[in-house]
Structure 1
Amino acid sequence: MCYLLSPMNKETEPTLDSLKSTQTALPPHAFEHAEAILHAIDQSAGVIILDNDRKVIFKNTKFDDIDRRLKNSENSPLISSLQKINIESKNYHKEISVRGLKNKTYWLDITCSQFTSPTKIDIFIIIDITPHKLTEEHLRSNKKMLQLALSVDNLTGIANRNAFSVHLKTILEKENKDKRFCIGIIDIDHFKKANDTLGHKAGDKLLKKISRILKGFQSNSIFVARVGGDEFAIIIDNDDYIVLSNILNDILHSLKFTFSFDGILHNSSASIGYTITTAHTKTNISDALHEPDMALYQAKEMGGNQIYLYDNQLSERYEQRLKLLSDILTSFKKEKFPTLYSPTFSTNGGDILLFSTSIDCYNSENIELKNDDTFKQQVDKYYIENTYKEIRKTINNNGKLYFSLKINNSKDIDKYSINHIDRIIHEYNLKSAIEIDHENSNYILNFVDDTCMSLPHTRDLQCKYIKIGGDLIKYLPDTPTNKIIVESIINVAHSVGKKVIATDVASKECDLILRQLGCDYVEGAFYSPNLTLTEVYALVAQTSSSHD
């Protein structure tokens, strides 16, 4: 349907009333139909009609409303923009932006239909889509903020594990899967110690400083992210060993500094494990970090502040270690390593004070693993937890039983300072299991085998009992020097209000000497063999019935 309208002149406003007189050969009720359509359009869209000379022959009130908001002067930027549009086909659609009042940008959706019979006219329909565009911009901005929140570590401001995963995925999905690159893990040495000693605020401050240092190494070819705790991951788009060594050594040296918090100093350093790989051999983040994680483990084993490049031998040792650990844990579950307890008797009446047990560091005969301290610590942890669970269960079932738990995993007695004992207690929740007096925190200090400690230190430790044993007691009847030492220990202990427990007593002669010297408690093969928990229960029942 086409309605032929004459051009508007300067004195005449282009309305349907003014145009009705110019009609030629129009169908009946044509203007009534047009008027109804334009009234509906008036509510949402502006309409303007241009003739072949690009002159305005009609515009509705909605167009005037839109045009009014765009005018910076008497001239209409909207009409000028429409007049410049070259309609090459019968249908035209485009979104344009126009500067309006106060330099504000307005977005308009413009559709044009062209009619060429009997004369050419262009009918433009204009919809103000500025609110829609602002909503889109707001959503885009929120999306960027959300993406930023999902990719940046809240504490340090460095890229997080999610960002690392996304970056790694882009590398793994590249067409050239044979291109070699470096993946590394950076772990802060002794961070837990700094965190525990200085507090979490200090730990957070240290992580922020480390992140700032690592961020300084980022470039188009180096990506660094915090992937968890005190662990950072790095991807370097290079496979040259010398280049990688220089970069990683620079990072290692930058992370070695003295950190101060509230006047307390902490020497910070890091360990780095890395691998040179291709996209062919990696499928996900866990797979990608497996090799550098093994290399990091080795760097830690070398004492920290080290860089270690992954090799195939590492994988073999790792698999060997996992198998051995699995075998040991299976043995624990099958109770092939039962915990044995030695009863401690009073020299005055024979009452049972407690039951002692000890945990020895796992001593692997395997050449590759015998110096693997981290592996030993893993085994120790399972052994300690297994023993603790057994003791805890026993205490819950029989509150009258007390236990002494000795952990033999160090040659250095300084580690048995009160701080170390407290750490073990809190880490394994052993407090009630090793306390003799539940109302006071009393520990047992051991003088066993080749352990050395200055006697005056005993007065500073919160212990109630002091144990002496090993060769010192075993050869007591045959060695006068041992007798002098044991007597001195007993006298010093009594002078500072502590009682003495002698272990490893194996003969009647040894028992008599200890009683003469005033030893308070004794234990060993002379009194009882090591007992399983079942035997412990039987002995307690027997002792109770004899007292009755």
Structure 2
Amino acid sequence: MEKQKDDFRKSLNSVQNWPQGARDDFVLHALDCSAIVAITDTRGRILSVNSRFEEISGYTRQELIGNDHRMLRSKQHDKKFFRQMYRTIASGNVWHGEICNRRQDGSLYWVDTTIVPHVSETGKVTSYVAIRFDITARKQAENHLKSSRQKLQKVVNTDFLTKISNRLHFSHILRRTLRASTASHICLALLDVDTFKTINDTSGHDSGDRLLRKIAEKLQAFENENCFIARIGGDEFAVLMTGETPSLFETVLLNILKQMRFSLRHRTVTHACTVSIGYVCVPLSGAREKVLLKCADLALYAAKTGGRNRVREYHPAMEEKLDLAARLRRRVQTGLRDQSIKVFYQPIFSLSVPGRISFEALLHWDHPQHKVLSPQYFPEVFEDHSLTMTLNTFMTHKVMEDMSKLREQNVRFERIAINITSCDFENTDFFRKLDSLAEGMNVPLTSLALEITENVFSRPHHQQVERELDTLHRKGVQISLDDFGTGFASLTHLKTITFDYVKINRAFVAGLERHGTDAAIIRGVIDIVHSLGRKVVAEGIRSASQVRALLEMECDFVQGDFLCEAVPVMDIPAALEKIRYKALL
């Protein structure tokens, strides 16, 4: 290494010892061999070029000299770029940078350029010498690397299924918006598909994927510079908006909600698709990522528990309600463990055949502060699907156990009715489990009844529910339409659903003696149900006069606290003895 340094010093010294003219000629020759050189006047007209300039530009010396240097422009640089360059060299300063030029054949090339102004003795710039080195290969490699990075970045930021932005990209855009946006307000909305699990379970994952792609496609129609769309997980999407008019955010979300109502067909099954949307809108200054996500999630939860297929804006009361519901659910879970959650039974009496009795199983909570509570006092618990399923499973097991106790007590009964919620229908093997449990506990299915509210049939998977109910009905389980008259499309259900009983809601029974309208409705329901060969149960009986009025209307069964309150299984014999002292007929 030292020897090479010495050789270089000797060579340099030898050149420096040459006569001035020889040394200048040598430097110019070396420059001409390695660099692309051109001389222009102050107006940009080419005065001289070397052979390397001809080679890289594709023009001959005759075609170049006398022409404006602008003939090589590639349009890859804006006016500001050249304005700054000319300002530098016109003031007598050297400019250095990278320029993209265009060859005669139209192809582009890049040169690392140094422009040196020639300044006269009077201080005036008279010409420019431009010395360039070809860096096209390097720029192409850089562009290739940049393109590869961009493609990789796109893959990293794109959801593989829907081809829209994913959660990672959403988080990046949200943080950048909070940091750099100049808008006055920000809106974060979370969108959840109401029907996704049902479609996946009944029509397969291909149909679920098709649903997600269709939703993403519809959402993209709303995307613009102020509205960002992303799929952030499973069947959940995010909509991020900024703007000066907060009231417009809800308008956009309502339009999105409307566009998300469509049908998806799979073979012979048509699914009605809807979404739930929760959002939060706040001034951009002071907004925080985690707070926005939490508030939007609470609003989404409110939209789903409020009936789905709707838009809900965040309100602080939602957080208070959620905390209360969470505490309540924890207490109920504790109640299941310490057996303060119990199953009570309320008799259902026949008005046409005295002594013919069935029971409805009802959950009760032996609450430490409020004595015994029925489910109407803790409805928030049933907003949790998992806990609802746990409670329903507990009730079903307990009912089948208590059937044996009733037989031991010589209590004669026809059936025990169990209330079934929409959560049960989300699990496609519910009825198989019910059949298997009954067989394992030696309980005949003919001693069971299922009470189902009408809103179950307003859900998108109602066709599946109807088919499974029909299967159980053929095995001997009775089906009762509970709270009839308060649900959705009641008369349609009478025509399309397999059922044995209709239970008239207590709200109509309460007005039986005061309002002629309620009496007319009850009479009409009884006549319609009887014409279909089915029976009617009136619940919520509070007086003997109500019983007599229903008897006159030929109602089949009655149930209510006036006749007998719900009691634990061991208290049923004593409770039935007291019935003898009440004049039912």
Give yes or no for TM over 0.5.
yes
| Aligned partner (choices 102, 127, 138) of residue 105 of structure 2 | 102
SS in structure 1 opposite 2:223?
A: coil
Give the deviation of 1:57 after TM superposition. Answer: 9.5
Deviation at residue 201 of structure 1 after TM alignment: 1.0
Aligned partner (choices 429, 434, 437) of residue 421 of structure 1 = 429
Contact 2:162 2:213 in 1 (8 A): yes
Q: 1:65 to 1:176 in 2, by over 3 A?
A: closer
* Aligned 1:259-338 pairs, distance under 5 A: 259-280=264-285, 282-284=287-289, 286-326=290-330, 336=338
The answer for the alignment partner of 2:52 in structure 1 is: 65
Conserved 8 A contact 1:72-1:101: yes
Partner of 1:470 in structure 2? none
User: Measured at CA, do residues 190 and 116 of structure 1 come closer, stay the same or move farther in structure 2, by a change above 3 Å?
Assistant: closer
Q: Which residue of 2 aligns with 1:154?
A: 160
The percent identity for this pair of structures is 24
TM-score by length of structure 2 reads 0.53
| CA distances 1:3-33 after superposition (whole Å, capped 9, x unpaired) | xxxxxxxxxxxxxxxxxxxxxxx97444554
Q: Which runs of 5+ in 1 are unaligned?
A: 1-25, 341-358, 387-407, 461-503, 507-548
Q: CA RMSD in A?
A: 5.1
- C-alpha displacement of 1:106: 1.9
- Cross-structure match for 2:575: none
Partner of 2:231: 226
Is 1:129 the counterpart of 2:119 in the alignment? no
1:370 aligns with 2:378: yes
The AA in structure 2 aligned to 1:370 is F
Give the direction of change, closer, same or farther, for the CA distance of 1:211–1:257 in structure 2 (3 Å limit). Answer: same
**What displacement does 1:199 show?**
0.9
Give the Cα–Cα distance (whole angstroms) in 1 for the partners of residues 339 and 476 of structure 2. Answer: 37
For 1:174-189, what aligned pairs fall within 5 Å after superposition?
A: 174=180, 179-189=184-194
Structure 1 residue 139: Cα displacement: 3.2
Would you say 1:457 and 2:444 are equivalent positions? Answer: no
Q: Distance in 2 between matches of 1:53 and 1:272?
A: 64
Q: CA deviation at 1:290?
A: 1.4
| 1:255 CA drift (Å) | 1.2
Does the residue aligned with 2:163 lie in a helix, a strand or coil?
coil
Q: For residue 263 of structure 2, what is the aligned residue in structure 1?
A: 258
CA-CA distance at 1:367 after TM superposition: 8.7
2:220 pairs with 201, 215, 220, which one?
215
* Aligned CA distance change for structure 1 residues 368 and 168 (closer, same or farther; 3 Å): farther
Separation in 2, partners of 1:104, 1:122? 26
Q: Is the 8 Å Cα contact of residues 160 and 227 (structure 1) preserved in structure 2?
A: yes
Retained in 2: the 8 A contact 1:71–1:77? no
Aligned equivalents of 2:302, 2:177: Cα separation in 1? 27
Kindly tell me: are residues 280 and 36 of structure 1, through their superposed partners in 2, closer, same or farther at Cα, counting changes over 3 Å?
Answer: same
Other-structure match for 2:76 = none
SS of corresponding position for 1:411: strand
The answer to whether the Cα contact below 8 Å between 1:436 and 1:443 also exists between their aligned partners in 2 is: yes
Q: Quick check: 1:271–1:299 contact (8 Å CA) kept in 2?
A: yes
Contact 1:52 1:121 (C-alpha < 8 Å) held by counterparts:
yes
- What letter matches 1:91 in structure 2? V
Q: For 2:150, which of 144, 147, 151 is the aligned residue?
A: 144
Give the drift of 1:204.
1.1
Specify the SS of the correspondent of 2:105: helix
TM-score by length of 1: 0.56
Q: Note if contact 2:381-2:388 (Cα within 8 Å) is conserved in structure 1.
A: no
What is the rounded CA distance, in whole Å, between the counterparts of 2:97 and 2:128 in structure 1? Answer: 15
CA distance in 1, matches of 2:133, 2:111: 6
d(CA) in 1 for partners of 2:375, 2:246: 30
1:334-361 C-alpha deviation (Å, 9 max, x unpaired): x646999xxxxxxxxxxxxxxxxxx997
- Which residue pairs with 2:420 in the alignment? 412
Partner of 2:507: none
Deviation at 1:264, TM superposition (A): 2.1
CA contact (8 A) 1:362 1:376 kept: no
Does the alignment pair 1:206 with 2:223? Answer: no
**Partners of 1:70 and 1:77 within 8 A in 2:** no
Q: Distance in 1 between matches of 2:241 and 2:272?
A: 27
